Structure 1
Amino acid sequence: MRLSRLLVPAFVLTFTALAPATAAAQGDGVPRPPTFPARAAQALVDGIQFGAIIAITAVGLSLVFGTTHLINFAHGELVTLGAVVAFFVNVAAAGPGLHIVAAAAIAVVVGAVIGAIAEVGLWRPLRRRGTGMINAFIVAIGLSLLLRHLTLVIFGSRPGSYREYDLQEPLTLGPVGITPRDLTITVLSVLVLVGLALLLQKTRIGTAIRAVSANRDLAEASGIDVQRVVLFVWLLGGALAALGGVFFGLAEIVTWDMGFRLLLLMIAGIILGGLGSAYGAMAGSFVIGIVAQGSSLWFPVDLQNAWALLALIVVLLVRPQGILGRRERVG
């Protein structure tokens, strides 16, 4: 009797443990992994969202390069500052804090102000002194390191997240799934990019920006206030970087080096699309985002940025001026 009392519970436990395996072997009631077309469609949706975030942050960097010929290596820190400012306003130490929409608006204003201060207080005086491009690049790298480690001291090394829209059930759209938060980020990003394109094409300041990017000396001789245009570009670039930082923090998480991790992809998108072309930066950023997410179908996620940069190399071997860049004579 004692032996039977011991064997019966053991038999029940063994049967319970083996039942799922048996059901899996028979294929009854066990969800099967998604097919490759479904996973490819999901990767495409994720890539479009990621590319839209890269595009918002890269356009400002591209406009700055087009008007000043400066690759601002501190642009990634503007992305981080936007996300961190929104985090502190949203997740207040004392009190409930503001909603993420209001926090994002404040972060965009702060990003624009920081961009303007950098132009008036640093880059304009350096241009007046005739500072060379190599020296300006070194200054930009030093400014990037300074801002990044100041953010580390103030924000800390622990990641954080916003209060709203943290956990959501995904919406199923055919073979793909996307949360309402990610869908909103993608739609808003595309709307911002469309609005920026209309600004560049339909407004006087947009025409002036394109003129300065095409030929600075000729634009100045035509009566365009180049200094005012450059200041506006820095304002716009700082605002877009901060907005992209908020979107990036919503889609993933807020960290002290998030902008630095995104900087290489921004530069890759700009070069891929064509240096100095805002529309090229948009197109190149979407390509980089889609390739980065699509590569995870075959390779580890840790290598997705490497494959995106490999796509950049391949395109430049075929078309050195980039997707929407123009050929230029050298010498």
Structure 2
Amino acid sequence: MTRPTARQRVVSRGASGALLALLLLPLLLLIGSPPASAVDTLCLPGPDKACIAGTLRTDAGVLPDVTLTITDEAGTVTEVTTSETGKWNLQVDKEGTYVVKLDESTLPKDLTVDTGEVTVQAKFGATVPALLTVRTADYSASTSKFDELLQSSVNGIRLGLLLALASVGLSLIYGTTGLSNFAHAEQVTLGGMLGYWLVNLHSMNLWLGGVLVVLLCSGTGWLQDRALWQPLRRRGLGLIQLMIVTIGLSLALQYTFQLLVGARTVRVVQENPAVSEFGPVTITHQSLVAMGISIVVLAAVGYALLRTRIGRATRAVSDNPALASASGIDTDRVIRLVWTVAMGLAGLSGLLYALVVNGIKWDSGMQILLLLFAAVTLGGLGTAFGALIGALIIGLVVELSPVLGMPGDFKYATAMLILILLLLVRPQGLLGKAQRVG
């Protein structure tokens, strides 16, 4: 190989600098953002202080301006009122037993109290929750198993569509480069974080903010390949080394998110979404819009892969990169486009996930990553349509398993178990092609 000239080295350094600048741009925007304004007065426990707190809400939304009384062991009564977000808290300077009681006269007329009085034990240095149950007057605690299955199936399809947006891009990256990108889920988290910064903190229109999130995430994908992955490929690094780079990038992004927003869950919008009922199924309007957007975007990606010239070139590179290059296809250009589209889809997935799941945390990517790899492997490595089918199956399994008797904490493990059982029968996945090894 010929040694790079001085001009090429300068261009390479410039590209690396540009990569670093664009990769850090979304994070710098988050760093420069003001802290989220506190809607409620924060109660901080200490060595000689304790906190009692709670939130009043029903399925229809939060309950502001509701009065509660807190009585200590000496009989002293303190009144608190819920805020606009339904939250309340009280700082006390004595340990012991406190009785929290809800004033039913301050509730809306169509609501009734199920559990209106609880007893809590306050301890210094801790916040004790007081769980009060409020329900509508016509509420029925009995739900048929069929209704639960129907509701969980809708939730599973919703989750599957959101996972499909990210898993299709992950599958395309693997198909064209052979690389398992462990930092892909952090791009999903980045989409949610940018949505929080643009829409929540800076009051940008949700639709405009969503477009900017997709553009910013797509830009980071373009520059990642231009100044990081392409030079590493040309230097002949193996897939193991490249995979280790993605793991390091994933960890760096996770702790950067934690540094910027802390351990709290952030939301894209503060308002509680409107809810619609279709028979036994209850779903928010945001979920309906998110599902519609996912279907349209996935259909557009499928059409592009099947009917456009660049889509056929992408499938050719995925099937045989060497033959595609010999046929005159610019493989570097195709791979860069794949990185750009994949990161944009991941950012959109993160934005919608943060909307319908009511928030996203710095470590949400760790949970999402397992589901993404399960979907891609289940559908067949390197096949975009297989990733779509795999994501829908994983979403349904995750949401249906608690209804069928699996403890809620194990629902993600259930998805992994289904994956293992299928691979024992069909190692190449549902739509993957069987290949000879060795």
Q: Normalized against structure 2, the TM-score is what?
A: 0.67
Shift of 1:319: 1.1
DSSP 3-state at the match of 2:337: helix
Partner SS for 1:296: coil
Structure 2: distance between partners of 1:218 and 1:148: 38
Which of 188, 191, 194 is the equivalent residue of 2:299? 194
Matching residue of 1:24:
none
Which of 328, 347, 365 is the equivalent residue of 1:259? 365
Aligned partner of 1:74: which letter? Answer: A
Deviations 1:222-261 (A, max 9, x none): 1100000000000000100000000110011121122222
2:204 corresponds, among 83, 93, 98, to: 98
Q: Is this contact kept in 2: 1:115–1:235, CA < 8 A?
A: yes
Deviation at 1:168, TM superposition (A): 2.9
1-structure distance, mates of 2:212, 2:408:
33
Q: Helix, strand or coil for the counterpart of 2:328?
A: coil
Whether contact under 8 Å (1:48, 1:290) holds in the other structure is: yes
Partner of 2:93: none
Give me the TM-score of the superposition, normalised by structure 1: 0.88
Contact 1:292–1:307 (Cα < 8 Å) also in 2: yes
Which residue number in structure 1 is paired with residue 423 of structure 2? 316
Give the Cα–Cα distance (whole angstroms) in 2 for the partners of residues 102 and 270 of structure 1.
30
2:191 equivalent to 1:82: yes
1:282 corresponds in structure 2 to: 388
Shift of 1:30: 6.3
Higher deviation after alignment, 265-274 or 72-81: 72-81
Q: 1:168 and 2:277 equivalent?
A: no
Deviations 1:144-191 (Å, cap 9, x if unpaired)?
A: 111111121122221111226x41342111221111111111111111
Residue-by-residue CA offset, 1:29-76 (whole Å, 9 max, x unaligned): 762411001100111000000000100011111100000000010111
1:38 equivalent in alignment to 2:143: no
Aligned residue in 2 for 1:293? 399
Structure 2 Cα separation of the partners of residues 328 and 29 of structure 1: 59
The RMSD of aligned alpha carbons is 1.6
Higher relative contact order (CA 8 A, sep 6+): 1
The range that moved more, 258-267 or 64-73, is 258-267
Residues in 2 aligned to 1:135 and 1:195: alpha-carbon distance in whole angstroms: 34
CA distance in 1 between counterparts of 2:417 and 2:298 reads: 26
Give distance in 2, aligned partners of 1:187 and 1:316. Answer: 31
Alignment partner, residue 121 of structure 1:
227
- In 1, the alpha carbon distance for the partners of 2:287 and 2:161 equals 11
Pick the structure with more strand per residue: 2
In 1, the alpha carbon distance for the partners of 2:144 and 2:264 equals 37
How many Å separate the matches in 2 of 1:273 and 1:49?
18
8 Å CA contact retained: 1:245, 1:259: no
1:178 is aligned to 283
CA contact (8 A) 1:51 1:285 kept: yes
Distance 2:260 2:343 in 1: 20
Sequence identity, in percent?
40
Q: State the SS of the aligned residue for 1:275.
A: coil
Range with greater deviation from structure 2 (281-290 or 128-137): 128-137
Partner of residue 329, structure 1: 436
Give how far 1:285 is off.
0.5
- For 2:390 and 2:383, the matched residues in 1 are separated by 10
Please tell me whether the aligned partners of residues 325 and 331 of structure 2 are also in contact (alpha carbons under 8 angstroms): yes
Is 1:87–1:103's contact at 8 Å kept on the other side of the alignment?
no
Q: 1:58 aligns with which of 164, 167, 171?
A: 167
With over 3 angstroms needed to count, the CA separation of the structure-2 counterparts of 1:84 and 1:30, relative to structure 1, is closer
Letter in 2 for 1:79: V
Tell me, yes or no, if the aligned pair for 2:181 and 2:243 is still in contact at 8 Å. yes
SS across alignment from 1:178: strand
Aligned to 1:16: none
Work out the CA distance in 1 between the residues paired with 2:315 and 2:165: 18
Q: Note the residue ranges of structure 1 that are not aligned, 5 or more in a row.
A: 1-19, 21-27
In structure 1, the residue matched to 2:129 is none
**Matching residue of 1:248:** 353
Q: Deviations over 1:269-320 (max 9, x none)?
A: 0000000000000000000000000001112222111001111111111111
Unaligned residue ranges in structure 2 (runs of 5+): 1-113, 115-136
Contact 2:378-2:430 within 8 A present in 1 as well? yes
What is the CA–CA distance in structure 2 between the aligned matches of 1:43 and 1:323, rounded to whole Å?
24
Q: Output aligned runs, 1:214-229, within 5 Å.
A: 214-229=319-334
After superposition, the Cα gap between the structure-2 partners of 1:171 and 1:135, relative to the gap in structure 1 and judged at 3 Å, is: same
